[in-house]
Amino acid sequence: MGRRHAENLRRLVPQAQLVAVADVAAERARRTAGELEIENSFGSLEAMLECKGLDAVIIATPDKFHADAVKTVAAAGKDMLCEKPLALTLSDAHELLDAVSKAGVRLQVGFMRRYDPAYSAAMKRIEAGEIGVPVVFKSVGRDKDGPPLSAYQANLGGMLFYTNTIHDFDLARWLMQDEVSEVHAYTTVAIRPEVAQFGDVVASVVNFKFNQGAIGNIESYAQAVYGYDVRTEIVGSKGSIMVGSMQQTPATFLTAHGKTQAIADHFLTTFADAYLAEIQDFVDAMLNDRQPRVSGEDGLRALAIAVAAENSYLQAKPVKVSAVSSVSGS
């Protein structure tokens, strides 16, 4: 993910200058800097923050290190874009938002789906009242291949709700213009029971309701085999919207086996434009001295839903989403 952001900045966003890359694997940082034809590479975030000419930082570390990285960057007085999830616990999230607020820096959270042309077209229609009052929110998020077991063992990321479903939690809040108040989750490890020991699951269905009476559900699935498949529906009192097409390119193949369309196999393919638009908007916010559109509070609120979903799964009952008081510095 860091590589993609670096490439986008270097190759497709002439308004910004990619000054340096850092990786705890210093050799990898060096290689990447070489491939991107930039001068500076570092073996730690701290070292990079000393680099001259640095105005803003993109944080794309493993999830577990997001909170510390944000605090370090804030302490250095730099603006930043942090990948989702903002943190893995609510207390970490609150701490980092305090740090950001005190440092007076800017923080954008990487919910790039908001920048996808189809999602943003949907949002415009909803805001224009074309579907009336939103009543039901539904979303599906499926990855093609499950993570290797080593990824679970490394224990660097959160469980399915934090790494995958969190995108849908953010979309739910954003598209419904309302807050999720309570969730209920079922999960399964049916076809890969060995992930259970790492506290993770293969698939989940999350039921939820919103403050103003709407309801919704989200399904997440870590290994859909057939491809990367993200779809969202908002059912309203006057009409509905469906977003998402798993098709890779508009080419259809017809053979004696039927009609076949290639399916996108990775989020970097499906959301290539969204990632670019995200970083362009971040760069624009920095250059024009404005707050980012996807705030730290957005990161915190999506996280609060993920925490409630995990608790519902652990406690086998519906769980209310923690109230989040509006956060000053985000």
Which residues inside 227-266 make contact with its own copies, applying CB under 8 A?
227, 229, 235, 237-263
Which of the residues 26 through 55 are near its own copies (CB under 8 A)? none
* Residue 24 within binding range of its own copies, rule CB under 8 A: no
Candidates 60-68, 89-97, 198-206, 293-301: pick the segment binding its own copies (CB under 8 A): 198-206
Candidates 53-61, 91-99, 186-194, 289-297: pick the segment binding its own copies (CB under 8 A): 186-194
Which of the residues 290 through 329 are near its own copies (CB under 8 A)? 316-318
> CA-CA distance, 290 to 55, in Å (whole number)?
14
Amino acid occupying residue 283: V
Q: Which is nearer to its own copies, 14 or 148 (CB)?
A: 14
Number of Cβ within a 10 Å radius of residue 257: 7
Residues 6+ apart with CB under 8 A from 163: 63, 85, 157
Among 111, 221, 228, 271, binds its own copies (CB under 8 A): 221
Could you identify the residue written with the tokens 């086996």?
257
Amino acid occupying residue 325: S
Among 94, 209, 266, 293, binds its own copies (CB under 8 A): 209
Q: Which is nearer to its own copies, 111 or 313 (CB)?
A: 313
* Residue 156 within binding range of its own copies, rule CB under 8 A: no
Q: Which is nearer to its own copies, 261 or 291 (CB)?
A: 261
Strands 229-236 and 134-142: antiparallel
How many residues form the binding site for its own copies (CB under 8 A)? 80
With both helix axes pointing from N to C terminus, report the angle between 66-75 and 90-103 in degrees, rounded to the nearest 10: 10
Which of the residues 106 through 145 are near its own copies (CB under 8 A)? 117-119, 121-122, 125, 130-133, 135-136, 138, 140, 142
With both helix axes pointing from N to C terminus, report the angle between 166-176 and 296-315 in degrees, rounded to the nearest 10: 120
- Are 218 and 165 spatial neighbours (Cβ–Cβ below 8 Å)? yes
The SS3 of residue 188 is strand
